[in-house]
Structure formats: structure tokens, C-alpha cells
Amino acid sequence: MSTITLASKRRRSALRTAAFMSPWLIGFAVFFAYPMISTVYFSFMQYDGFKPPTWSGTKNWTYVFEHYPYFWPALRNTLWLVLITVTLRVAFGLGVGLLITKIRTGTGVFRTLFYLPYLAPPVAATMAFAFLLNPGTGPVNSILEGIGIPAPGWFNDPSWSKPALTLLALWGIGDLMVIFMAALLDVPREQYEAAELDGASAWQRFRFVTLPNISPIVMFAVVTGVIQTMQYYAQPLIAGKVASGVIQGAGTQFEPGYPDKSTLTLPQLVYNLGFQRFDYGSACVVALVLFALSMAFTALLMRRRGGLIQAGD
């Protein structure tokens, strides 16, 4: 009798727990589990969105990895942007945050100046950059040529298009600057004072006081930066379209990546395959690659951070 009561109590408790967790569980099931399972399922199906899906085995996987000419360039570009752009954005955001916390006057003005670009809509900001960096008529190249520096082709040159996108990302650094400023102002003053008494140099104070204190924020900035870069879509697409001159065109066949596939990113392929080519199966394969990459980067970073904390301890 007492066993039944205990079991019933446990069941009630479990139900209560489930009820409290249900908003999250429903959200997880609807917005993560179902799309995830569907994506895996459709990656093995021939599906154009009109006719019912049919089993195609590994055909989509083989196509994407072996025959789809945009996949490897897009993967290389995405990895380039993750490694270079995210690193530079975190370093630049931290640098700007450090500078602004140090200056005594005009903090508000600088804070506003650095934050404002972040509020610009990505499409408008990208179009503005494409015009500023226009190799023929843009003011940036006019200035560079004026002072005798060879002017790059920026968005019209495959070797300069990703650095130009990185410049655009650095211009909109406001989000990271605010986060780093909050973290920097939160570092206990007494730790700096103790380090100064011990004769630590500015670099040593940064390395052994500032960095360990803000490392969770650095980690947050890196992980969210990696995820955002994995989803990088609007800026490279718009930059490529504006620079190529194919802004719109009735009946004009335009595939992204101008110039020479250098601005292709994996999310563009998901859209191109799924919604323009009607090949949902292959689009799902690319989406799964993106997911696997994001997971791998995050796991790697979390592991590295675990190591850092242990070393710090």
C-alpha cells in the first residue's frame, strides 16, 4: 500500500515537473526537435515541395559533397569568415571597449559613435559599403589613390571581397563593445591595485587580471560570433549583387557568390537549393553540415575554455 502511494507520489511529482517544464519542452519540440528530425529525414528524400517526397538514399549527400560546384567554395569562405572575421571582431570589440573605459572625457560621445553603426539595417549598411568601396567611383579608393596607395577592387575582386566584408563587420562592432565595456567595468579594482603593487606591467595586468575576469564574456562573444557567421547571409549576398550590377532583372538568372564564388556562404546555398532550385533534400544536407560545424566549433571552444579555467585555477 505504501509502495503504491510512493509510486503515485513520484508520478504526481514527475507530472508536476513536466507541467512546469512544458513551455520549454513544447518550444524545444516545435522549434528544434521537429525541424531537426525533418531536416535529417528530408536529406534522404527527393523532394521539390510539390510532389510527395520519395526515398533517394544518399543521393543528395553525394550530390552536395561531390557534384555541387558551390559547396566547397562556400564552406571555405564560411570557415575563413569564422576564423578571421570572428577573431578580428572580438579583438576589435575588446580593444574599443578597453579604450572607451579608459578615456576620461567624451565617453558618451564615443560610445554613441561606435554603437550607432550597429543599428544600421544590414542591407542598407552593405549597400552603403559597396558604394563607398566601389573601385571606380568610391571615395575610399579615390583617397587611397590620392595618397599613392594601390587601390584594391574590394567587392569586385575575389581576393578582396572577404576582407571588405570583414571591414563591414568591424564597422558594426557596437554590440560587442557594449558587452565588453560592461565586463571590463565589472573587474574588481582591488585586483588591479594589487597587481600594480606587485609591479605588474600594463600587459601583465591585462593578461593576468583583465582577461581571466572577462573570459566568460570573451567565450560568449566568440561562440555567438561563430554562430552568427555560420548564418551569414544578407551582407555577402547584397554585396555580391550590388558589385556585380545584377540588382534585379526580369528573367535574369543570378546565382550568388560574385565575384568568382568568393562571397558564397553556406546559408546562401540553403536558400539557393531549397527555394530557387526546389531541391529541398540537398538544402537539408547543407543545413545539417552547418549544424554539425556550429556544434563542432562550440564544443571545441567550450573544451578550450575548460582548459583555460583549469590552467587559471
Partner 1 sequence: MPGISRKVALAAAASVALLATACTGQSGSGASDDPSEDTTLNFWHAWSAPAEVKAVKSLVAGFEKAHPTIHVNVVGNMTDDKMNQALRTGGDKAPDVISSFTTNNVGKFCSSGALVDLNPLFEKSGIDPAKTFPKAMSEYTEFDGNRCSVPLLGDAYGLYYNKTAFEKADITTPPKTWSEFEADAKKLTISDGDSYKQLGFMPNYHGWETTTEHYLGQFSPTYFDSSGKSTIATDPAVEAGFTLQKKLVDELGGYQRLEKYRSTLGDEWGPKHPFQTGQVAMQLDGEWRLGMALDAKPDFEIGVAPLPVPDDQADQYGKGYITGTIAGIAATSKKQNAAWELVKYMTTDTAAVVAFSNAIHNVPSTLAALKSPDLKYDPRFKTFLDIAANPNSTTSPASVNGGVYLATIQNFGYEYESGKAKDLKAGLARTAKQIDTDIAQAK
> Residue 133 gets which letter from DSSP?
T
Nearer to partner 1 by Cβ, of 14 and 119: the residue is 14
How many residues comprise the chain?
Answer: 313
Contact 100, 111 (CB under 8 A): yes
Nearer to partner 1 by Cβ, of 68 and 115: the residue is 68
Smallest gap from Cβ 20 to partner 1, in A, equals 24
Q: How far is CA 51 from the centre of its chain?
A: 35
Q: How far is CA 60 from the centre of its chain?
A: 26
Smallest gap from Cβ 11 to partner 1, in A, equals 17
Count the residues of the shown chain that bind partner 1, applying the rule CB under 8 A: 42
Q: Which of residues 274-293 bind partner 1 (CB under 8 A)?
A: 275-279, 282
Q: Which of residues 27-66 bind partner 1 (CB under 8 A)?
A: 37-38, 41, 47-53, 59-60, 63
Site for partner 1 contains 254 (CB under 8 A): yes
- As to burial, measured by CB atoms within 10 angstroms (0-12 exposed, 13-18 middle, 19+ buried), residue 109 is exposed
Q: Which of 253, 310, 311, 313 binds partner 1 (CB under 8 A)?
A: 253
The rounded distance, in Å, linking the Cα atoms of 218 and 79 is 20
Q: Which of 113, 247, 299, 300 binds partner 1 (CB under 8 A)?
A: 247
Nearer to partner 1 by Cβ, of 117 and 135: the residue is 135
Q: What's phi and psi for 250, nearest 5 deg?
A: -65, 120
CB 3: neighbour CB atoms within 10 A? 7
Smallest gap from Cβ 218 to partner 1, in A, equals 39
Options 3-11, 89-97, 131-139, 200-208: segment touching partner 1 (CB under 8 A): 131-139
- Contact map string, positions 158 to 187, toward partner 1, x by CB under 8 A: ------------------------------
Q: Could you write out the DSSP letters of every residue in 34-101?
A: HHHHHHHHHTTEE--SSSPPEE-TTHHHHIIIII-TTHHHHHHHHHHIIIIIHHHHHHHHHHHHHHHH
Q: Which of residues 190-229 bind partner 1 (CB under 8 A)?
A: none
Q: Which residue ranges make up the site for partner 1 (CB under 8 A)?
A: 37-38, 41, 47-53, 59-60, 63, 67, 69, 134-137, 153, 156, 243-255, 258, 260, 275-279, 282
